[in-house]
Amino acid sequence: MKIHNYKFFGLGLFFIGVVMLGQELYRPWINRNGIDDFGLANYWPSFFGCFCAVFFALSFVKKNEIVSCSIWTGVGCIAYEILQPWLGTGVFDWADLLAVCIAGVISTLGLLALSTRSQSKHASKT
């Protein structure tokens, strides 16, 4: 496999860092201090983990496949959340599923907007 876009790979690494910060620092701090953060500490890894998966996947696809790859990676994250009890990697949680859906939609819409903007900028140059 060849990395086609190092920017996306870098964003994937960034989101790994965000997930790790949430799991290793934020969640224990919230739990230790008894702070009600509306469950953010619990669904943080799922939300930002979806961005991580999307950007890592995007780093391996060509430019014309970016939006469809984002959609299918989001669908994969949703499937993973649903299948966690059977995979033995966690428990099913509606908040996690909702967080992954929102992250998938945000990443896809953002990439769609950037793709459309890039195409219109390219068309105006020709």
Q: Please state the domain extents for the chain.
A: 6-125
So what's the pLDDT on residue 49? 95
So what's the pLDDT on residue 5? 86
Tens place of pLDDT per residue across the chain (126 aa): 577 788 999 999 999 999 999 999 999 999 999 999 999 999 999 999 999 999 999 999 988 888 999 999 999 999 999 999 999 988 899 999 999 999 999 999 999 888 777 666 656 665
Euclidean distance between CA atoms 55 and 40, whole angstroms: 22
- Confirm if 22 and 47 have CB atoms less than 8 A apart: no
